Each structure stands twice: as structure tokens, then as C-alpha cells.
Homo-oligomer: A and B are copies of this chain.
Amino acid sequence: MNYFSRRKFIKAGSVAGVSALTLTEIVTAAFTEAKAGKITIGQNNTVLFQGDSITDAGRKKDDLNANNTSALGSGYAMIAGSELLFKYPEKSLKVYNKGISGNKVYQLAERWDADCLNQKPDVLSILIGVNDYWHKHDGHYNGTVEIYRNDFKALLERTKKALPTVKLIICEPFAVPDVKSVDKTWYPEFPEYQQAAREMADTFDAAFIPFQSVFDKAVKLAPGVYWTGDGVHPSLAGAQLMAHAWGEVVKG
């Protein structure tokens, strides 16, 4: 059974059961299946979101202040960050977003000193990989899953060396099948990138956010276009879904 027919089978077999659950329960269920560990937010912690356009989400690059709405953009990082600030007011957190549209993992590496290591984050969340596949798929980039895996591994080794106590969150790159840019030609190759991201989480003892499972469950409650306009970038509903999922791995 290939990916698409398996999905159809899952849909047909479980919609009735799933719709009895709330989406919050569904998000939690995705984590239970993924056996994801949690990270603890400490006093005065600096929290840094890193990634591509999904993280960037139109942030104002010249606003260098922590916790500022415009500096955090208007995507999942802003919503998840504001939830942290709401939930832990006594911890004096500093939340930053340094995602940049279009980035692949090697482009994170190019700006890693300035945009990560020098920021000295206590909590570092990385969502990277969809462009590593997508740009290759569309003929704009000559990478492979091996390059993605090796570059990601080198980036994380460098991070752990500079910041030995950093608490890592690795986010699974995701795509919503049958929506605009994402069609059958993404499979089975794109999931190899997802597998590589999951390996990074295991290897570096990071919390892992199974975004693909989260979106796979969400499309049972509303169509894919409700959660993403192009299959890759979340809608506002999708950004809130991601923020809820992100919040699942963090405790006070």
C-alpha cells in the first residue's frame, strides 16, 4: 500500500472515531504516539526559534527586541512565543525569532554564529527541511537527503559544542498532501527528509515535534486548504495548530 492509498484507508476507517475527539486531544495523541520528550523552561531563559519562511512569517528583521510582536512575525513562533510569555510571566523569558524565508539547512549554517550561537539561547527550536526537498523537487537546488542529514548533523554538533547545555527542540518538516504544491511526486522521497529530522532529535537528545502527524490528524477535521494555502505554509488556523503542538513539548 503506498502513502496515498494508505492515507485514504486511514481516512475512511477512522473519521467517525476521530471526530469525537477535540483537536486538542488529537494534538496530544500525536505526541503520545511519537513518545516525545519534554524540555523545561527555566528562569530568565532565552528562547530562539530558527528556520525558514514558516518560522519567519513576515517578522521585521530590524526589530532586535525580545518579545516584540513585529520581531516575532505572525506565524507559529509568534503564537507559541506569546503563549510562553502568558503562561510563565514570572520567568522573565526572552523570546526571539531568527527564521529566514527560503532557508535550507546549509543556509542556517552560514548565519549560525550571528543568528544562533551569539544569541546564547537556553532553548533552541529548529524547523528546517521542507525547502531542502522542495527546491530540489522544483529543480532550483541540487541537494539530496544525505546532504540534508549531514549538514543538519554538523550544525547540531557545532551547536552542542558552543552551547553544551542548550535545550533542543527539533520540529518535523511537514507537507499537506493534495494541497496546491504538494502532490504525489513528493512521495516517497519527502518522508526521507522527515525521517532524517527525527534521527537528529534522537541523536541529539532533543524534544521532537511530530508536525506531520499533527497535520495528518487535523485534515480529518477540516480540509487541507483550511490548514495551509499551498501545502507547505500554514494558514492562521495552521499556525495556531502548530503553536499548540509546539507548546506540548514545553513545561515550566
User: Which residues of A pack against B, CB within 8 Å?
Assistant: 19, 22-24, 57-58, 67-70, 72, 74-75, 78-79, 81-83, 85-87, 89-90, 92, 218, 221-222, 226, 235-237, 239-241, 244
Contacts and interface: CB of A to CB of B under 8 A. Distances in A.
Number of this chain's copies in the assembly equals 2
From DSSP, what is the main secondary structure of chain A's interface residues?
A: helix
A83 B240 contact: yes
21 contacts: A22-B87, A23-B86, A23-B87, A57-B69, A58-B70, A69-B235, A69-B239, A70-B74, A78-B236, A79-B82, A82-B236, A82-B239, A83-B240, A85-B236, A85-B237, A85-B240, A86-B241, A89-B218, A89-B226, A90-B221, A92-B222
A48 to B, nearest CB: 16
A24 B83 CA distance: 11
Given A69-B239, A72-B236, A74-B78, A86 B244 contact: yes
